[in-house]
Chain A
Amino acid sequence: MPALIAERVAAADATPAEPILKIEGVYKRFAVSDGEVEALRAVDLTVAPGEFVCIIGASGCGKSTLLRLVGGFDKPSDGRILMRGRPVTGPGPDRGMVFQDYGLFPWLTVRRNVEFGPASRHLPRAEIKAIGERFIEMIGLTRFAGAYPHELSGGMKQRVAIARVLANEASVVLMDEPFGALDAMTRERLQIELLSIWEGTGLTVLFITHAIEEAILLADRIVVMSPNPGRISAIHDVALPRPRDIASPAFNTLRRELGALLHGKED
Chain B
Amino acid sequence: MAATAQRPLNVNWLPVVLPAALLALWWAATLRSPDGLIPQPQQVAQEFVDFAGLAGHNDSFSGTLWPNLLASAERVFGGFLLSAVLALPLGLMIGQLPIFRRMLDSTLQVLRPVPVTAWQPLFLILFGLGSKTALFLVTLGCFYPILLNTVLGVRSVEGRLLEAAAMLGVSRSAIFPKVVLPAALPGIFTGLRLGLGFAWVVIVVGEMSGVRTGLGAMITDAREVSRTDVVIVGMITIGLAGFFSDQAVQALSRRILRWSPRHAGADR
Contacts and interface: CB of A to CB of B under 8 A. Distances in A.
Q: Do A and B bind each other?
A: yes
A107 B160 contact: no
B264 A150 contact: yes
B260 A92 contact: no
Interface string A107-118: 111000000110
Contact of B167 (A91, A108, A147): A91
B255 interface: no
Contact of B169 (A103, A104, A106, A117): A117
Contact of A107 (B165, B169, B182): B182
Contacts of B174: 120
Contacts of A116: 165, 168
B1 A151 contact: yes
Interface in A69-83: 71-73
B4 to A, nearest CB: 12
A133 interface: no
A121 B169 contact: yes
Interface residues of B, number: 23
A65 B207 CA distance: 61
A205 interface: no
A72 B164 CA distance: 12
Given A91-B163, A101-B160, A146 B182 contact: no
Contacts of A103: 160-161, 163-164
Interface string B152-167: 0000000011011111
A109 B182 CA distance: 13
A168 B259 contact: no
B112 interface: no
A120 B168 contact: yes
B260 A106 contact: yes
B38 interface: no
Nearest to B178: A120
Contacts of A120: 168-170, 174, 178
A99 B164 CA distance: 9
A118 B161 CA distance: 17
A108 B182 CA distance: 9
Given A107-B259, A107-B260, A97 B164 contact: yes
Contact of A150 (B2, B164, B261): B261
Contacts of A150: 259-261, 264
Interface in B181-240: 182-183, 185
A95 interface: yes
B174 to A, nearest CB: 7
B1 A146 contact: yes
Contacts of A91: 163, 166-167
A108 to B, nearest CB: 7
A164 B164 CA distance: 10
Contact of A97 (B2, B167, B178): B167
Contact of B168 (A72, A90, A107, A117): A117
A50 interface: no
Contacts of B1: 144, 146-147, 151
A148 B259 contact: yes
Contacts of A104: 164
B57 interface: no
Contacts of B163: 71, 73, 91, 97, 99, 103
B81 interface: no
Contacts of B261: 150
A93 interface: yes
A146 B5 CA distance: 13
A93 B179 contact: no
Contacts of A73: 163, 166-167
A92 B169 contact: yes
B203 to A, nearest CB: 34
A68 B35 CA distance: 78
Given A73-B167, A91-B167, A106-B183, 8 more contacts: A71-B167, A97-B163, A103-B160, A105-B161, A105-B165, A105-B182, A150-B259, A150-B264
18 contacts: A72-B166, A73-B163, A90-B166, A91-B163, A97-B167, A99-B160, A99-B163, A101-B160, A103-B163, A103-B164, A107-B259, A108-B259, A109-B259, A121-B169, A147-B1, A148-B258, A164-B168, A165-B168
Interface of A: 71-73, 90-93, 95-97, 99, 101, 103-109, 116-117, 120-121, 144, 146-151, 164-165, 168
The 10 A-B pairs with the shortest beta carbon distances in the complex, nearest first, are A93-B169, A103-B164, A91-B166, A150-B261, A148-B259, A117-B168, A107-B182, A107-B259, A91-B167, A103-B160
